[in-house]
Amino acid sequence: MKTKITFLFLFIIPFLTFAQQFNTPGDTEGFAIIGTTTNTLGANGTDLVLTVLENGNPVVSTPTANIDADTFNYLEIKLKNNSTTDQLRFSNANPAAAPFSNIVITKGDTSYQTYYVDITNWSGIVNVLSIVGKPVNGSYKFVGVGETISIDYIKPVVSLPIIETPEVNTFTFNGASNGGFTTLLRATALAATESSKATLMITCTEANRFDSKVGLAINAAHVGGQNKYAHIIVKNTSINNSLQISGLVSGATKSFSPRPVFTVSDTDYMTYDFDLSTWDDGYQQPELIIGVKSNWSATATYAIGDIVIVSNTYYKNLSGVNSATQGDVRTETANWAICDVTGAEAPAPGAIVGALLDIVNPIYIDQIVFDNEKGNLGNRDFESKSNAIAIYPNPAKNVLKIKSDNTISKIEVYNMQGKKVASRNNTSDINVSSLGKGIYIISVLQDNGSVASKQFVKE
């Protein structure tokens, strides 16, 4: 049976600490809908099938879920989704409440897909499981009637399986490819051409929430964890000034610090380096986290009326008392209030959660390289106005020439794995005839101390 969920759905599924298979034909196996009454719950063969006949939030519930969250770290769910809904949100409470775990699901399926939900932030015996169907770029409002979703099974598992995917450490987003990077939270990630470059275009989508995320899909590829540094060539046309990478450390997802200074409203491409030396050596599914950098400090003394930035939001101090954590700034309403840049509290424009996040102007990623070079390109301008260069011919067969308004001190050429493959001093050209066909980066050190980098093709 084809399944469709173009709307929000919420249902609670009971299961034991082994696989909950819906394998009694024509039997809902004790599940019942609560909430809206005209929706139906049935079975198509051994699948559990929810059919929505009116707008609303149907809930399928059982009194005992019995999930041992201290033993199991993930939920495995197999379903078929032939709709435009592309995100599921999981909670251990009813109605659904934090802590949430989210997964992005494919749309228009013709076969069943298997997903894994991280529940490491749950603990003890959990008797309720809530699953909220929420489009990545939509609200909690039902828009479809007569649409269904079928579930084959849900089961808890201790760890993620090792999925045989290719190891990819260089992402160039050529053609219509998104390189396997997909939307995770509050963003779109699309292949797009910008300044004649094939890029991954990321646009944040919800300004009344927290950070946005995109990540490498687990079923598309993986990055080798033995590569301890990342280099991203990016043009940030937005005013979002925080870009982080997260990955697995001791099996848990963690963001890495320090993060580079992420410039805003760029007119040129910039290169940023990230230190990933603490992440695990195995398969990695890196995530890119975009937001506005917080400036609150745990050690600062704040006066009444002082304004800080936390979680893409302005907060004004009300009491002269600081908080212990950034999370406390958001919850201690006696000490902090959401405001705009002038200090005006809600409903003033900008006095909302996440109001600082730019959801209009995109971020273009030209290239991501994971390697073991601490900073072969450094935090260098990819092509800023003060150090602009021109290279020709491009593509090149033999000699690549460089034109610059400054005297050139050194030329270096790197392959897409970040390895230096050629260099020359005090000249304006370099012979590349011995290089294999492919894409390379030329880095030019100029006598004013600046470094410019460009990508070229070797024929």
> pLDDT tens digit string along 187-198?
889 899 898 888
Classify the C-alpha dihedral 296-288-353-363 as positive or negative: positive
Q: Quote the tokens at residue 39.
A: 């929706």
Query: Residue 281: how many CB atoms within 10 A of its CB?
Result: 11
Q: CA 231: distance to chain centroid?
A: 17
> Would the pLDDT of 228 be above 80?
yes
Residue type (1 letter), 378:
G
Q: Which residue has the tokens 């963001």?
A: 255
State the Cα torsion 321-325-331-336 to the nearest 10°.
30
Quote the radius of gyration of the chain (alpha carbons, Å). 25
Average pLDDT over residues 25-44: 73
Which residues, 6 or more positions from 70, have their beta carbon under 8 angstroms from its beta carbon?
Answer: 123, 124
> Would the pLDDT of 439 be above 80?
no
> Would the pLDDT of 148 be above 70?
yes
Considering the chain, what is the average pLDDT of its residues? 80
pLDDT of residue 142: 41
pLDDT band at 87; cut points 50, 70, 90: confident
State the Cα torsion 414-417-418-422 to the nearest 10°.
-30
pLDDT of residue 23: 66
Q: Quote the tokens at residue 330.
A: 């958001």
What's the rounded Cα separation, in Å, for the pair 377 and 368? 12
Q: What is the DSSP letter of 16?
A: -
Please state the pTM of the whole predicted model.
0.60
> Would the pLDDT of 133 be above 70?
no
What's the rounded Cα separation, in Å, for the pair 288 and 253? 12
Beta bridge partners of 229: 275, 371
Region of poorest pLDDT, from 169-178, 285-294, 300-309, 443-452 = 443-452
Query: Residue 321: how many CB atoms within 10 A of its CB?
Result: 13
